[in-house]
């Protein structure tokens, strides 16, 4: 179906230089993932400047959401096509074989992805087992960009890290929002540095998730549910999940005017 759609767009002249970006997220089957490979190659053949932003959704917190054989398809076929990659900690470990336990491991994993051909990598969430800088109630966001010299084969890798507070509970859809915001923040060359883009991303996400958390508490309190406790039955668990619908419309101003709440730190240059 996807390839038929792309073929139809092509026949009607809708694949052109006007296509600026491709964004993919959750893909649950190998056949559809391979169709995405064909689609991206076709669109890049029509317009070599189109940017492919890939959120390689595999799983989280040690658990796969998709068939494990998709990992190899991502490694062999998807990642070499990507201009931007936005994995979480679990996903980047699966894609690189590097277990991230400290800053150096995060740098090594990003370097592996850069070497495959991805210019910009955003690890959307990292919890280091031990860290002097990271508290137990925070997580890190790590961005790495490889910049090639104009007339030489030399390059520099710039890496930025930023710590944000964790909120209780799990919020479905945060990865999708992060990928979309990062696409927008990095869509055009601007005066913003990599660190400033990371700060804007973190500020907006903190505002959205914080607003969602507060709205969830209010809804659940009216139902007599304490969402900070582990639900003992499926009905309560379902109510908690439903209460955490992401407050996107309510956060429109924070999306358009990102609040700066956290400071990014440059790690190194290569």
User: Which residues are identified as catalytic?
Assistant: 176
Q: Which of 38, 103, 40, 33 is nearest to 68 (CA)?
A: 33
For residue 15, give every residue at least 6 positions away whose Cβ sits within 8 Å of its Cβ, in sequence order, or none: 6, 9, 42, 43, 46, 47
Identify the bridge partners of residue 157 per DSSP, sorted by sequence position. Answer: 146
Q: CA-CA distance, 139 to 134, in Å (whole number)? A: 7
Residue 12: other Cβ atoms inside 10 A: 8
- Are 264 and 198 contacting, i.e. CB atoms less than 8 angstroms apart? yes
CA geometry: angle 253, 259, 263, nearest 5 deg: 160
The helix (run of H) or strand (run of E) holding residue 164 is: strand 155-165
């Amino acid at each position: 179906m996807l390839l038929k759609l792309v073929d139809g767009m092509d026949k009607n002249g809708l694949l052109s230089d006007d296509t600026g970006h491709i964004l993919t997220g959750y893909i649950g089957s190998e056949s559809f993932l391979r169709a995405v490979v064909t689609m991206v190659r076709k669109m890049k053949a029509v317009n070599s400047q189109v940017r492919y932003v890939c959120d390689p959704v595999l799983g989280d917190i040690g658990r796969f959401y998709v068939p494990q054989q998709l990992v190899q398809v991502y490694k062999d076929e998807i990642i070499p096509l990507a201009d931007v990659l936005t994995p979480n900690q679990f996903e980047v470990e699966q894609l690189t074989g590097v277990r991230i336990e400290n800053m150096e491991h995060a740098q090594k994993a990003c370097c592996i992805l850069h070497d495959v051909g991805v210019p910009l990598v955003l690890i959307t969430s990292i919890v280091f087992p031990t860290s002097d800088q990271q508290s137990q109630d925070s997580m890190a966001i790590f961005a790495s960009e490889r910049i090639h010299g104009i007339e030489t084969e030399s390059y520099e890798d710039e890496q930025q890290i930023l710590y944000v507070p964790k909120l209780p509970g799990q919020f479905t859809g945060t990865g999708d929002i992060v990928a979309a915001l990062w696409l927008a923040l990095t869509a055009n060359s601007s005066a913003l540095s990599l660190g400033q883009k990371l700060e804007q991303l973190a500020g907006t996400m903190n505002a959205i998730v914080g607003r969602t958390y507060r709205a969830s508490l209010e809804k659940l309190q009216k139902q007599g549910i304490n969402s900070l406790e582990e639900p003992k039955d499926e009905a309560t668990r379902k109510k908690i999940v439903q209460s955490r619908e992401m407050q996107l419309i309510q956060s429109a101003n924070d999306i358009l005017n990102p609040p700066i709440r956290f400071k990014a730190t440059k790690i190194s240059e290569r």
